Each structure stands twice: as C-alpha cells, then as structure tokens.
C-alpha cells in the first residue's frame, strides 16, 4: 500500500471514529451535532480539526479559573445564603411590585446564577459610543485609587489610543491600573499599543492566549466589557473600545447603534468580583487567593457616592461561560423572562441564530398572544451570520413574531418584558454567546427603568423597517436556498 492510499485509509478511519463519537457520545443538542456531522462529512480531516477546536468538548478549565470562581463565590456566600433563606420576604417586600410579579426570575438567578439581589443602585444608559466614551474617559481621568478594565476588543485607532493615553497618565500618578483584553477579540491589535501603559507601571494581560501548543482555547473568548473605577462606579454592556462604536473617523460606512450601562451602588461589587476572577485566571503572575486582596480597596462601602440616571434600581448580575458546559445561566434566565411575559417581549440583538430552547420560547410567546418584537441590523457586519439568521426570522414571523431592520448596525443586546423588567449585557442571541463565550448580563427589576428601556426600543423601532411576510415573499428561491444552507451551520457561527 502506497503512502497516498495509507493516508486516505487513515483519514477514512479517523472520520468514522469521530462520526461515531458525535452520534453516540456527543452531549450537545441535535442541531449542533448534525452541523458537526455535516462539516466532517463535507470536509474530512479539516472538519475534524474544526470540531476539536470549536466544539467545546475539548475545553479544559484552568485550575486557576476553578479556584478563582470558588473564592469569588465564597466571598458572596453569606449574602447568598441569607437571601436564599429569606427569599419570600425578599421578593414580597411590598416596596417593589415588580419583584413580586417576576419573583421566579429572581429565584433562579439567585440559586442557579449565584447572583445576589441588590437594591438602591443608580443606572445610566448610553445609546452610543460618543456618549459612553465622553463619560468614561472623564471618570477615568478623575480616578483616585484603582482602575480595572476588561474588553473583548481594543482597537489600535484614535479611540483606543485615547484610552491608553488616559490610563498611562493615571498609572504615572500612582493609580493602580489593570487592563485585560481578549486575545482573539483583539488579535489585530499589536501589543505595542500598551507599551506606554506598561512603562508607566500599569498592568496588562491577555485572556486565553492561543498557540500551536495550546490551541483548544481559541473558541472560548471573554466577551465581557467591564470597567470598575475606585470600586464605586461600574460600566458594562455591548460596547468595546474602537472608533466604530463612536461612529468616529468613518470607521464603518453605516451608523453603529449600541447600548452600555453605568452603575453605582452595591451591584458594582458583582462587576468587581467578575473582573478579579477573569484577571487572576489570565494573569499568572498575580496572587490567586482572593482573601489576600485588600477588601476595603476593591470592595468599598458604596455609600455617599455620585448618583446619576435612574435611581433605586433593584438588579442582579449574572455571568456565564464554557467553564461549566452543563449550565447556560444567562440564556436560561432570558428564556424564563420570555415565559413570564404577560403582554410584550422586546429584543434588540446584532445576531439572531437562536438555539432550540430560545426559539421555542419566542414561538410559544407569540402564539399565546404576546407582542413579540425583535430589532436586528439593516447592515450586518458578518454576511454569513445574516444568511444563517434569515430562516429563523422567516419561520418565527409565521408564528406572529415581528422583525425590524435597523437603519444601520445595531449592536445593542437588550430585552424588555412588559415594560417592567429588562436585561442588558454582552450576550447575543446565538449559540456562541449562549454556550462558548464568557458573558455577563444584568437583570433589572424596576418599572421606571423598564419603561425607559421600552421607550428606547420604540425609538429604535421608528428608525427601522418592518420585515413582513411581503418582504420575505420577494426573496428569490435561490437566495432562500442559500439561507437554508447556512442555517445548517448556525450552531457553529
């Protein structure tokens, strides 16, 4: 047998082994399994390589991540235990009817998402990068003790250089600056961008660097966007660092619409906790024991601080990621929100390839008479995701879900139920966010804030065109066939 024949035989046997493994031992849902079977069948060997790298079955959780999470959960253990013990009293406190009406969501986020409920927070929403950066950069320049930042993408453009310049100045002033960025999300950004900050004494770390020797983390990215200043003010949401988010220097040929949040109050401690877990997971030179951290410095008493925006908001902050493949805390919480809806479900998302669970929840909500609306981009930044999303939207449209194309690119990740409860964060409506990325979402229980989010949705809907049955009817059969082909790979996108 010659070399070519031996290679082909080996490839055939290897393909067969992986097909058997996926058929009988793969634990993911049927859609994901079928997508991988197609990939391996259509592109032998290459499909196997993609499966090993991207399926999620070969992810080995670093011991540092496990220990950091254990320490972090221990830090909030007393608060969680107290709230779990007094859950009924917590929900039926008489001061917030929203807590009583949507108590099951609080219950699940508390027990399953391990997120305490904190009241009395002040929330300010940003609808564009212009607003966010103006406020953030000013607040960073006024920091007195610590600055912690974690971003999926930091571009080496005018906005990125402005951020690094401010951080460098603060490091020169003696402020403790820690900057974490995702290795793949910022792959096109040279480490030279951060040299001035490092020279000034700031600390910079990359989340899960990928190499030939350690390739399996390539698919497990830190998609969170966090800033915590002096332990008092926190920022989170959908915006990274780059000109495109601020519609600056013509970085994109269309308008970029996004949503980000500034919070002050007790909930900031949850953002701080998550940053420290991510930091000590990726920064190997740092101490691991969270008990050694200066608690007063990183978790100060949130009293007597500047409050702007909507006040006295009750909220929970839930994190999720591939470190626990059995749980999808954020997706499950969002699914429960849909099931609890009495009148309406409003969603804004830049990508829409929902898994079976989320798809079914939207279908049932629409068929049961709820007003279900989804705003997606008019200009998509990823053409293949758009093609994969269209069949989902066409089918849900037949069940009564309404879809709208925003005039530009909408990167906002927001869902509002009945104008009462809302969630905002980094999570997209796709399998990647639900299962493979490290994400963070806040859940807000405030009629005033819920109404504000609903009003924001209405404004975005007015800047959108409805995708009705007539619109889909004008699409050619060839294009629809292309949609259906890309839908097969939706669980992998």
Catalytically active residues, by annotation: 223, 225, 230, 411, 413, 418
> Do the beta carbons of residue 372 and residue 366 sit within 8 Å?
yes
Please name the residue ranges forming H helices in 195-328. Answer: 195-199, 268-282, 295-298
- Is the alpha carbon torsion for 323, 324, 329, 331 positive or negative? positive
Tokens, residue 1? 């047998």
| Rounded-to-integer distance, Cα 392 and Cα 159, Å | 36
Tell me which residue of 72, 127, 88 sits closest to 414, measured CA to CA. Answer: 127
Q: Would you call 46 exposed, middle or buried from its count of C-beta atoms within 10 A (0-12, 13-18, 19+)?
A: exposed
Tell me which residue of 225, 175, 176 sits closest to 433, measured CA to CA. Answer: 225
| Rounded-to-integer distance, Cα 412 and Cα 69, Å | 28
CB atoms within 10 A of CB 455: 12
Q: What separation, in Å, do the N-terminal and C-terminal C-alpha atoms of the chain show?
A: 40
Separation of CA 49 from chain center: 26
| Rounded-to-integer distance, Cα 227 and Cα 212, Å | 31
| Rounded-to-integer distance, Cα 170 and Cα 176, Å | 8
């Amino acid at each position: 047998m010659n070399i070519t024949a031996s290679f082909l035989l080996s490839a055939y046997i290897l393909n067969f082994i992986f097909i058997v493994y996926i058929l009988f031992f793969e634990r993911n849902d049927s859609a994901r399994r079928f997508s991988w079977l197609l990939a391996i069948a259509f592109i032998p060997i290459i499909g196997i390589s993609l499966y090993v790298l991207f399926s999620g079955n070969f992810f080995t959780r670093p011991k540092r991540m496990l220990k950091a999470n254990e320490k972090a959960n221990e830090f909030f253990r007393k608060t969680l235990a107290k709230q779990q013990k007094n859950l009924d009293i917590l929900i039926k406190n008489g001061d917030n009817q929203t807590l009583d009406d949507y108590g099951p969501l609080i219950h699940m986020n508390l027990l399953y998402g391990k997120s305490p409920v904190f009241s009395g927070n002040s929330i300010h929403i940003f609808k564009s990068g212009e607003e966010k950066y103006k406020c953030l950069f000013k607040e960073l320049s006024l920091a007195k003790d610590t600055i912690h930042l974690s971003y999926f993408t930091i571009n080496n453009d005018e906005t990125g250089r402005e951020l690094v310049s401010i951080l460098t100045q603060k490091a020169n002033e003696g402020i403790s600056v820690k900057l974490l960025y995702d290795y793949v999300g910022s792959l096109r950004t040279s480490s030279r961008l951060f040299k001035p900050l490092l020279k000034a004494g700031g600390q910079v770390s990359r989340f899960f660097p990928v190499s030939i020797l350690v390739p399996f983390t390539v698919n497990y990215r830190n998609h969170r966007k966090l800033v915590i200043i002096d332990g008092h003010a926190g920022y989170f949401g959908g915006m990274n660092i780059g000109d495109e988010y601020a519609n600056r220097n013509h970085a994109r040929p269309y308008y970029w619409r996004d949503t980000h949040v500034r919070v002050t109050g007790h909930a900031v401690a949850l953002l701080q906790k998550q940053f420290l877990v991510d930091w000590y997971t990726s920064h190997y030179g740092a101490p691991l024991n969270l008990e050694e951290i200066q608690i007063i410095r990183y978790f100060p008493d949130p009293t007597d601080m500047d409050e702007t925006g909507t006040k006295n908001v009750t909220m929970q902050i839930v994190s999720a990621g591939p470190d626990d493949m059995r749980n999808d805390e954020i997706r499950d919480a969002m699914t429960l929100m849909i099931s609890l809806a009495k009148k309406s479900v409003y969603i804004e998302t830049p990508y829409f390839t929902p898994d079976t669970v989320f798809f079914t929840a939207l279908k049932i909500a629409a068929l049961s008479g709820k007003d279900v609306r989804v705003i997606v981009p008019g200009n998509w930044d990823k053409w293949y995701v758009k093609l994969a999303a269209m069949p989902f939207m066409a089918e849900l449209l037949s069940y009564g879900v309404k879809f709208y194309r925003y005039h530009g690119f909408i990167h906002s990740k927001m869902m509002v139920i009945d104008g009462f409860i809302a969630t905002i964060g980094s999570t997209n409506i796709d399998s990647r966010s639900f299962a493979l990325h490290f994400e963070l979402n806040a859940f807000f229980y405030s009629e005033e804030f819920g109404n504000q989010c609903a009003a924001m949705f209405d404004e975005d809907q007015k800047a959108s065109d409805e995708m009705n049955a007539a619109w889909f009817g004008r699409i050619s059969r060839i294009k629809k066939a292309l949609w259906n082909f890309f839908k097969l790979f939706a669980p992998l996108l």
